[in-house]
A and B are shown apart, each in its own frame.
Chain A
Amino acid sequence: MDLNQSMRLLSSWIAQIGGLGLDLLWRFIHLVVSLWYIVSGIIEAVESYAISLGLNKKYSSINIEKLRCLAVVVDIEEARDVSKVIELLQWLRTIGVKQVGLFDSQGLLKKSKDLILGTVPGSVLSEEIGEKDSSPEQNPLALEFISSSDNKEAVMKAANILLQDYLKSSRPENDKGENFFTETHLNEALRVVGENVHAPDLLLVYGPIRSHLGFPAWRLRYTEIVHMGSLNYMRYGSLLKAIHKFTGVHQNYGT
C-alpha cells in the first residue's frame, strides 16, 4: 500500500510539475511573440522617423504624378481635433499632393471647412479651381469635403433624377431602359445633384476601425485602401511610406 501511495504521490507531483512547465512554456511563447511585436513596432517607428528626416533615400523622390486624387477618411471622434487634420493636410501639400478629399461620416470637417481653408496655406475648394482663371497660388491644394450624405443619399437622389427623366422621355414601348441606365447616366445624374464622381486613387483611413465608414461607394471601384491607424499617432514617415507604396502598385483591373 505504501508503495502504491508513493507511486500515486510521485505521479501527482510529476503531473503538477509537467503542467507548470507547460504553462511556463506557453507564457514564454506569449512573451516572445509580444517582444517580437514590440521590436517590430520600434523598428517601424525608427524607420518612420528616418523617412521623416530624409535619411532613407528610397523615399526621397516619389512619383507623385501617379496620385491624382487622394481621399482621407477620418473617424468622427478623431475628426473633432481639427488641428491634426490641418497638420496632415500640410504634410500632404509638402509631399506634392494636389487634390485631397476629406471625409467623415457626420460632416464635422465640412463644418470646419472655413477654418481648414484659412489655416492650410495654398488650399482652395476643389469646386473653385475651375472657376478661377488664375489662382494666386501656383500649386494650390484642392480640397473637397465629403460626408455620408454624399454617399447613399446622393445615389438615391441621382436615381430619382434618372427615374423622372426616364418617365418624361419619349421611348418605344419595349424599351427596358438598357440604353438609359448606364454608368455614364448615373455619373451625370450625380453631377446634377452636386456630387463629385471622380474616383480617388488612394484612400487613407485614420481611425480605430479598418473600414471606409461610408465613403461614397460609387467612387471606390478601384481605389487602393490603406489603414493608417489613429490620427493622434500619425507620422510623416508612415504617410510617405503609404504613398510611396501606392506608386508601386500595379492593377490588372480584373483582366
Chain B
Amino acid sequence: MLSLLSSLLSLLFVFLISFFIITSHFSFPLSLLKLLGFIKFTASRDDDDNYKRDEGTYVVGEEELQRELMPRHVAVIMDGNRRWAKREGLLTSQGHEAGAKRLIEFSELCFKLGIHTVSAFAFSTENWGRHKIEVKCLMSLIQHYLKSKIQYFQREETRVSIIGNLTKIPESLRQTIHEIEEATKSYKKKHLILAIDYSGRLDILRACKSIVHKSEAGLIRKEDVDEAMIERELLTSCTEFSSPDLLIRTSGEQRISNFFLWQLAYTELFFSSVLWPDFDKDKLVEALVSYQRRERRFGCRV
C-alpha cells in the first residue's frame, strides 16, 4: 500500500514540476521550493506532530513565521470603518468602535509575535474636514478607549505614546493622553503609538522649526543640520525603531495619505482589500508572511 502511495506521490511530483516549467514564463507568486515542499516522502514517521519546527518559528495555518525575521515596527492605516458600518447596516460610530476594538486585538497579536512597536494612524489632520458630529464621536471614542485601557496597558507592560498636533483636540482628551503616557512611560519592551491629528508633511516642517529654535538657542550650528538630525526631531523619535519595517493599509486603497512620509522610505507596503474591522489574525499573518518573503536591500546592492 505504501509503495502504491509513493508511486502516486511521484506522479504528482512529475505533474507539478511540468506545470512549474510551463508556468515559469509567467510571473506567478509561486516558487519551486513551495512546490517541492508539497512532496514529503514519508518513509519514516514520528509519533509526534508531523510539523516539527525549530524553536523560534510559529506555525500558523500552512505558513511559518520566523521570529528572527519579524518586523520590529509595524505601522497600520486603519481604513474602512465607515464602509464596514454601511455594509453591516450599522452607524458610522459603531464602525469606528469596531475599528478601535480591532486595533487592540491587532496590537496584542503583534506584541505576542515579538514585534516591538506598533503605530496606528488614528486621525489625520485632513480628517478635521469630516462632519462635526463624526469628529466629535471619534474624539470621544479615542478618549473612552484610552481611559478604559490604562490598566490593561499597565498589565501588559505596553508603553503608549500619542503623536500629532495635539493643540486642536479637546482638553479632556489631552488630559487622558497625558495620564496614559505617564502611566506607561517606563515600559520598554512593547510600544503602541497612536497618531492623532497627524500629518507627514507637518511632521517634517515641525522638525525643521525645532532645529531652528535649537540653532537660535545656540545648541546647534547650521552645518550640523543633516538627515539624522531631522529624523531625531520627527515625532517618531519617541521610539527606538522610528522607521516602520511594514506598513499595512486596509480597505483596498493603495496610498500613504500623508502618514509617516519621511519614515516610509524603505518600508514594505502591504495593501489589503479587507476593511479594517475585518482585518483579523489570518490577514495579519498574510501580511507578515509577505514581509518575511521579501528581500529588502534598502537601496544598496547586496
Contact = CB atoms under 8 A, between A and B. Distances in A.
B296 A19 contact: no
B23 A167 contact: no
Interface in B253-302: 253-258, 261-262, 264-271, 290, 294-297, 299, 301
Interface stretch (B86-94, B104-112, B171-179, B202-210): B202-210
A223 B258 CA distance: 9
Contacts, number: 180
A81 interface: no
B208 A162 contact: yes
A172 interface: no
A37 B30 contact: yes
Given A167-B215, A209-B294, A181 B265 contact: no
Given A159-B225, A213-B299, A254 B261 contact: no
Contacts of A77: 301
A208 B295 contact: yes
Contacts of A19: 45, 50
Contacts of B9: 27
A42 B265 CA distance: 33
Interface residues on A, range: 35 or more
B16 A226 contact: no
Contacts of B262: 152, 155, 217
Interface residues of B, number: 69
B299 A106 contact: yes
Interface in A81-113: 105-106
23 contacts: A19-B50, A23-B42, A23-B50, A27-B9, A159-B211, A163-B215, A167-B212, A186-B205, A209-B268, A209-B296, A210-B290, A212-B269, A214-B299, A217-B264, A218-B204, A218-B261, A221-B258, A222-B257, A224-B255, A229-B27, A254-B125, A254-B258, A255-B130
Given A166-B212, A183-B201, A254-B258, 12 more contacts: A23-B50, A34-B16, A156-B226, A156-B230, A208-B294, A210-B268, A214-B265, A217-B200, A217-B262, A220-B256, A223-B256, A254-B124
Interface of B: 5, 9, 12, 16, 19, 23, 26-30, 34-35, 37-40, 42, 45, 50, 62, 124-127, 129-130, 200-202, 204-209, 211-213, 215-216, 222, 225-227, 230, 253-258, 261-262, 264-271, 290, 294-297, 299, 301
